[in-house]
Structure 1
Amino acid sequence: MALEVQQHTRDEKADPHYDNNDNPGHDLKEIKSIKQFLNEARDENKRIWYLAGPVIFTCIAQYSLGATTQVFAGHLSTLELDAVSMEDLVISGLAYGIMLGMASALETICGQANGAKQLHMLGVYMQRSWVILTLMCICLLPIYLFATPILRLFHQNEEIASLAGKFSLYMIPKLFTYGLNFRILKFLQAQSKVMTMAVVSAFALVFHLFLNWLLIIHLRLGLVGAAIALNASWWFIVFGQFSYIAMGYCPGAWNGFSRLAFKDLAEFTKLSIGSAIMMCVEFWNLVITIVVAGNLRNAQIAVGAMSICLNLFGWHNMIFLGFNASISVRISNELGAGRPRAAKFSILVVLMSSVSLAIFSFLLTLALRDVYGIPFTNNPDVADAVSSLAILFAITLFLNGIQPVLSGVAIGAGWQWLIAYVNLGSYYLIGFPLGFVLAFPLKKGVQGMWTGQLCGVGLQTAILIIITLKTNWDHEASQANSRIEKWGGSTKTPEVNSMD
């Protein structure tokens, strides 16, 4: 099959960050030389990094809020580390997975509406998502209120369950930031306003580090101080980003609060649920891993080692979530604008970058296998347990350089329900049962559990590759146009719907 590239004007090539949605109808033509391919790949790569760079920084900064608190807690005691990790990875993790997953519905429809030049609908879509997600936050409150009994139900260590449950009560305010923050992020990403996200997150991280030092180290408030720091920092992000929008820096996309926010909620909820299942099945796989670790012998050592690896995995994942977001924006914009072949070329280019970084991550992890756990713990047994997972951990990081990109393609195209089924089969029919058998009947412990999960990730990645290769992108562009028209994209006068 012939390689294809996007056709640009001379002025467009002079600025690699231009918005190619200004030229609807220009799609791809066949590549006639290697030089032409390299030139077009270079320009597309610049567009990808223009989106991915700030998003990667934003993801790392926001993830670091919880991760740095774990570092501070780890130097109080192993029990405090386990309690904060259990709350962050299990209790908040359940909510985080649902909130982030449901937000990918907004990523699909906002990106496609932006590509189709239906800019006024972006704010409406964000408000619809706020309505749905605020209700979901209320539904999730019992998980926080009854965290200790839930952890006991999964046979977690009594000391860890008790302290983690207490910490979960302190973290209820953060739950509602999930219902607001992720929607604002997707709204801004769809318009490529990614530098704003990065700046607000940078200030929030500096603020958070100061609060952790002040409350945990200087005032010695322990986990109470940790909770105050986390809640305050997350609300700082929400207010900072929404202030940018409300002050008029998203002209056309934000026209004030609208009655249309309460229209077509059923269809929007359906896509949101599919998105949540797609993301949650994958994210909860990590939650199950840490819960199972709590049932192994030497539970505190096992949970500590797993939480450190998953913490590092989370930081690594933030980098590739940047690629996930950038390819999702590119795919949804191109499909919304009716340029299916341009979408295919974007996938090829972003995979070239992400695989290169994945190989680097693999090699770096093996080189630092004896030291990367030390900053998180004073316990040498925990550090040794982390080192023993190095090979499995390195392979996981390599696969994680491919899988999020393909998931981003799925989000941009609106395949959430299809990928949800793939994830269910890969993780819960293959990965988890295999890991359980290796960890308990075959007594392979943490290594056995991780091996099973790794097999699930490998299978999922292979299936996503096959789906992407076999996709009819002309049909996907047609589907994008139908979706926009169905959910109100043909509305011409947004002012008449305003509640202001």
Structure 2
Amino acid sequence: MEESSLDGRTEEEKWKIRWSGFGEELKKLSYMAVPMVAVLVSQYLLRVASMVIVGHLGMAAGLETLCGQAYGANQNQKLGTYTYCSIISLIPVCIPISIIWVFLDKLLVLLGQDPEISAVARKFSVWLIPGLFAYPFLQSLVRYFLCQGIILPMLWSSFAALCLHIPLCWALVYKANLGITGAALSVGCAHWFNVVLLGMYMRYSSSCAESRALVFRDIFLSIKEFFRFAIPSALMVCLEWWSFEIVILLAGILPNSKLEASVLSICVTTTALHFLIPYGISAAASTRVSNELGAGNPQAARFSVYVTVIIGTIEAIIAAITLFLCRHVYGYLFSNKAEVVNYVREMVPLICISLIMDSLQGVLSGVARGSGWQRIGAYANLGVYYLVGIPISAILCFAVNMKGKGLWIGMMAGIFVQALLFALVTGFTNWQKQANNARERIFERGVVANNETG
């Protein structure tokens, strides 16, 4: 909101205008954030129902910058170009992931894990490979619709995929006696079913008429530009996710490792499940910020950031208070063993602090994706988790003998530094310059293409 437009008005009138703008921005963010949280929860439950979390192809997050800014600049034809470019670029990425999954048992044994568990993990992963190749389509289509504010089709398709997955998983696991193989196959079927539904909507909906154009020449010309945002986006996701996996592995070498690893897994599961809410808010923020920057409205983008941070902070505080009040019974959701329940109760205050800090950094990560700061985010995550979080975790765990608590406090230190860095970058951003960069990026591609065809 431009402050100059408030000149000459009384303080009461100024506050009314500001609150009116806040309410309008809140409405826009909520329209995208609430259904997006439902989409993410549906997809998360789909994976939880099969006892696995499939690796995210974070590279697709590069579309949040490119598609969002293109849509804001009314360059709708480029949305299809960037989306098809993302799919073509991400399919080859699935090949090395598939190879790792094929040899996953050897890798896990090398990391000191139980051979029998490693063999089961490898068997499950191998049968997940067909579903893995749905991810380039699914993640790209999700960003395609999100950047246009087309949320409800994603909500219904995710819900339909979940409704297919649960009975299919039950039938394959218990009726067909396929065990974990059946669970993995049902995951793949659900992902492909989701892709088909979204693809059909994109193909036949009038709301996608301008943005689904297929121009092969422009697609291949955009690959370099896509990877410029995609690789840092993937690093942002992977560096953070791997750090928590490393902490759980460290818990596995502690005395009473089963208890320590189990409780830390509960901590990670809790924060991961809650993170779906701030991530849904951040996805809405990414769309709003990228749209406004692409449209050349820097002050509107900045105002959207303020509203988003306020919403994310309030939500996180409510979630933390709720979890703290339930700390005495929360552990029973995961185990009936007294030692696990008591240990979880001791960890809940630390988890509550994590929820607040993780929510803030998650929301600001969405601002980073919408603005095209993925490279800064990747460097930040590398520093905060591998130069701050994990070293402090190791020191507190092994040198100070705080065990699992020390591991989690170290990761909290990393999250705090991460949130602080993102807040500083956001606070010192020149939004006019970001809007100019976005407009140049979007229209430069059109000039290049016209010159080459002329």
Q: Scaled by the length of structure 1, what TM-score is found?
A: 0.84
> What pairs with 1:33-44 in structure 2 (closer than 5 Å)?
33-44=14-25
Would you say the 8 A contact 2:82–2:222 is kept in 1? no
How big is the shift at 1:212?
A: 3.5
Q: State how far apart, in whole Å, the 2-side matches of 1:388 and 1:208 are.
A: 36
Residues 422/448 of structure 1: CA separation in 2 closer, same or farther (3 Å cut): same
Letter in 1 for 2:249: V
Matches within 5 A, 1:266-345: 266-345=224-303
Residues 121 and 489 in structure 1, CA contact (< 8 A), matched pair in contact too = no
Q: For residues 396 and 212 of structure 1, what CA distance do their matches in structure 2 show?
A: 34
C-alpha contact (below 8 Å) 1:354/1:401 kept by paired residues = yes
Alignment of 1:71-82 (within 5 A): none
Q: Which AA in structure 2 matches 1:405?
A: V
Residue deviations 1:306-332, cap 9 Å, x none? 223322222211111111110100000
Matching of residue 46 in structure 1 with residue 16 in structure 2: no
For 1:104-253, list aligned pairs within 5 A: 104-216=61-173, 221-249=178-206, 250-253=208-211
AA aligned opposite 1:43: E
Would the aligned equivalents of 1:64 and 1:315 in 2 still touch at CA under 8 Å? no
Cα distance in structure 2, aligned partners of 1:296 and 1:237: 41
Structure 1 residue 456 displacement after superposition:
0.2
Q: Which residue of 1 aligns with 2:395?
A: 437
The Cα of 1:440 is off from its aligned counterpart by 2.2
Whether contact under 8 Å (1:435, 1:452) holds in the other structure is yes
Any conservation in 2 of the 1:5–1:342 contact (CA below 8 Å)? Answer: no
Change (3 A) 1:107 1:390: same
**1:113 Cα deviation from its structure 2 partner:** 0.4
Moved more, 400-409 or 281-290: 281-290
Between stretches 477-486 and 434-443, larger displacement belongs to 434-443
Q: Hey, what does 1:11 align to over in structure 2? A: none
Deviations 1:383-438 (A, max 9, x none): 44433321111111111221111111111110111121111111110001110122
Deviation (angstroms), 1:185:
0.5
Match of 2:219 in 1: 261
Share of identical aligned residues, percent? 35
- 2:314 aligned residue (329, 347, 356): 356
Q: Which runs of 5+ in 2 are unaligned?
A: 6-10
Alignment-mate amino acid for residue 318 of structure 1: L
Structure 2 residue matching 1:329: 3-state secondary structure: helix
State the Cα distance separating 1:460 from its structure 2 match.
0.7
Does residue 414 (structure 1) correspond to residue 372 (structure 2)? The answer is yes
**Kept in 1: contact 2:72–2:295 (CA 8 A):** yes
Please report the RMSD computed on the Cα atoms of aligned residues, expressed in angstroms.
Answer: 2.4
Structure with a larger share of its residues in helix: 2
Are 1:59 and 2:40 counterparts? yes
> In 1, Cα distance between the equivalents of 2:426 and 2:389?
22
- C-alpha displacement at 1:248, in angstroms? 3.6
Equivalent residues of 2:218, 2:449 under 8 A apart: no
Whole-angstrom distance in 2 between the partners of 1:365 and 1:383: 14
In structure 2, what residue type is equivalent to 1:156? Q
| Amino acid in structure 1 at the alignment position of 2:238 | C
Q: Distance in 2 between matches of 1:135 and 1:321?
A: 27
| CA offset digits 1:358-383 (Å, max 9, x no partner) | 00111111112233343344555444
Three-state SS of the structure 2 residue aligned to 1:371 is helix
Q: How many residues align?
A: 446
| Residues 123 and 181, structure 2, Cα contact 8 Å, conserved in 1 | no
> Equivalent residue of 1:117, what SS?
coil
Paired residue type of 2:190 = S
- Aligned: 1:472 with 2:430: yes
| One-letter amino acid matched to 2:316 | A
Q: Kindly provide the amino acid, as one letter, of the partner of residue 60 in structure 1.
A: V
Residue type of the alignment partner of 1:64: L
Question: CA–CA distance in 2 between the matches of 1:177 and 1:396?
Answer: 33
Alpha-carbon distance in 2 for matches of 1:239, 1:6: 49
Q: CA deviation at 1:132?
A: 1.2
Residues 446-500 of structure 1: per-residue CA shift (max 9 Å, x gap):
21111101100001101111111111000000100111123347768xxx9xxxx
* Distance in 1 of aligned mates of 2:163 and 2:447: 40
Q: Match of 2:91, as an amino acid?
A: T
